[in-house]
Structure 1
Amino acid sequence: MSEKRKQVSAPTQSKKRGYIVWNTQMDTILISVLYNQLNQGNKGDGEWKPQAYQAVVDELRTKLDMSLTTENVRNRVKIWKKHYGVIMEIRTQTKFKWDEEKKMVEIALEDLPEWMKYTQANPSAASYSNKSIDHWDDICVLVGPDRAIGDGGEHHEEGATMMDEEACDGASSSVDTTSTSSKKKQKRDNLAEAVTSVAHTLKSYVEARLKATPTLGGKEVYDEVSNVIGILRPQVLKAVSMFVESPIKFQVLKDLPHDQKLDWIILCLDERRAM
């Protein structure tokens, strides 16, 4: 019976389409590991090094008892790159509004006619209207500035499918297609130029936004918590999740002396469990 339950809770994969379904818990672990790998210098030339992907596989096996491959992790990162590409194209080349608090392209009723025209020419954008993009700030930091145009980034026609799949906890696709039309090539060239112009200021933009609003990004919280003396690995993710939801408690953590930070984290976690 226990084996059946484990099989049901594991991520499902479609042999026909090559999808591995990712949920929020898996994404949280992925983000945490990639930040750690970034700090260790395991990213270069615009791509994560093999050991970074392997570290994610190992952590998912340890924390969730899941057997994924490094290719599964690569495909999830590719999906993030595609999300980033579609959203940045909308933000840099159209007048449609971006809701920074909700992390979504906001299409008002009066903008629907123009949005329909835009999506007819850019079908992959259709599923991004009024849909919040999970982990957007982390996506910007981890894959945004060096988004690979030629490494799966051209497959924007998959955008609608990906967004529909992620409505049910997210999907990672290993589908590989190639476009040779001059129209698509021109679109990729335009997108590459737009991304390049944004890349130089993206990191500072994200950091400034985090300071200007009470909403916390994963990197700031993770860096602070992971440096607390004596904290255990299982406690790190729990504390990150808690402090992202409670900026006031996180500010207290930052203000405390180093020898009291761990006590504060344990106290907050105990209070959370008692709720």
Structure 2
Amino acid sequence: MVNGTNTSGFGYDSSTHSVIAEPAVWDSYIQVHKEAGKWRNKIFPHYEDLCIIFGKDRAQGNKAKDFAQMEEDANNEEQSEQIEGGFEEQTTENEDSPNIGSKKRKKVDDVIKGITIAANLL
């Protein structure tokens, strides 16, 4: 109704945080979309923030990913980095003290655990 090239007489008033249109435009739209009547004169205080989140740069088509796919990709990448990091720690661990690598690994594991918990909460 508000964005795009054909807004059909609708707009957004950032001072009132609401969808605006002439009464005749609203009336004709509601005749076709009966459920839209409840949105007339309703304020949308987070509309501009949502435009940033769901703006034009959102992926579409076969390259689009939902949250679950992005999380899976991030977990796979994280595991790959851990494996690579573990290999590097093992090679330096033999040269240095055996306790240094295990302390670093514990700190990294704690950070990863914290990030995973936070991501799951979100």
Q: Greater relative contact order (Cα 8 A, min sep 6): structure 1 or 2? A: 1
TM-score under structure 1 length normalisation: 0.18
TM-score normalised by structure 2 residue count: 0.37
Higher-Rg structure is 2
